[in-house]
Structure 1
């Protein structure tokens, strides 16, 4: 994996999406609670609010990949469009980052595991995908 490269972590593009309600209240349905004592801890909450903003963002080395906004709920088709039209072009324009050495990390969101997304990421990052179905498997119960 890292092949003794002490700067390996600087070559990982850490990514995630989040939903922000636009009414000023915290939405606990987007938070995850992990506990060794109670693995089934949940909080009842409404999962859908009329006004919300979905945002994708990434970090690689000391670069922030500008946030991209997602209209509606994220699905495989929307995620693939963001990757093709926003994420990859942004990565390719970064100074001091070698695109061919970047590892792409994503969590287990169902949209990340659509066939088209997996094929596209494997073509862009051959043997350098950290995901549920990637070169490196995303750990179960990760506190992401």
Structure 2
């Protein structure tokens, strides 16, 4: 609720200047098995692309969206720890942000996963974005368990997942290329609209006292 109250002090354009970020596991299924359409994982099932084999290769993508653009997709081949996440911020994310003329207006958002909120990571983020960080362990907290407030969760991932299902990549490299092409070619206005829609969701979240609201959309 407090997060939504703060967000709603800003207009829709502010939401476009937030660098919304998230990670997602993508699972490859090179040989579909019609007798087995179940994909089990210890991870949140909403974070997995549906697969047709109970076992398959997988890779994690990090995607960031800001100012009508997707930043370069970054791939993790294993579980993400603080060191790997910090290295990505230093070598991929910040150089992409720094190249943009309006970077001083940007905010950075991340969820509260443990690798995201270690002291070295938070020190780096605050050194680059100042007080414009939305995260656990920051002045402006990201509400826990709130995928319905993340434009990547409620829109982007479902769009790219649908593209993967249609294209049926046969190798991890094909899958990665497909995701990268999709992110690179996504329409700027669609990305801006996606970010602005977060404000509407924040309004509904507030009106429902922090409870479920997607049935009202």
* TM-score above 0.5: yes
1:69 corresponding residue in structure 2? 75
Pick aligned residue for 2:118 from 90, 106, 114? 114
Q: SS where residue 88 of structure 2 aligns? A: helix
Q: Is the 8 A contact 1:21 1:27 kept in 2?
A: no
Question: How far 1:4 moved relative to its partner?
Answer: 5.3
Question: How far 1:27 moved relative to its partner?
Answer: 5.2
The runs of 5 or more residues in structure 1 that have no matched partner are 34-48
Q: SS where residue 111 of structure 1 aligns? A: helix
Cα distance between partner residues in 1 of 2:103 and 2:70: 15
Question: How far 1:125 moved relative to its partner?
Answer: 0.7
Q: Which has the higher strand share?
A: 1
Cα distance change, pair 4–12 in 1 and its aligned pair in 2 (3 A)? closer
Cα distance between partner residues in 2 of 1:11 and 1:27: 36
Q: Does 1:81 align with 2:87?
A: yes
Pick aligned residue for 2:98 from 85, 92, 101? 92
Cα distance between partner residues in 1 of 2:81 and 2:93: 16
Pick aligned residue for 2:62 from 51, 56, 63? 56
Cα distance between partner residues in 1 of 2:131 and 2:105: 10
The runs of 5 or more residues in structure 2 that have no matched partner are 1-5, 31-36, 48-54, 148-152, 154-217
User: TM-score w.r.t. structure 2 length?
Assistant: 0.53
Paired positions, count: 128
1:127 corresponding residue in structure 2? 131
User: TM-score w.r.t. structure 1 length?
Assistant: 0.77
Q: SS where residue 72 of structure 1 aligns? A: coil
Q: SS where residue 77 of structure 1 aligns? A: helix
Q: SS where residue 23 of structure 1 aligns? A: coil
Pick aligned residue for 1:14 from 15, 20, 33? 20
Higher RCO structure (Cα 8 Å, ≥6 apart):
2
Q: Is the 8 A contact 2:29 2:56 kept in 1?
A: no
Q: Which has the higher helix share?
A: 2
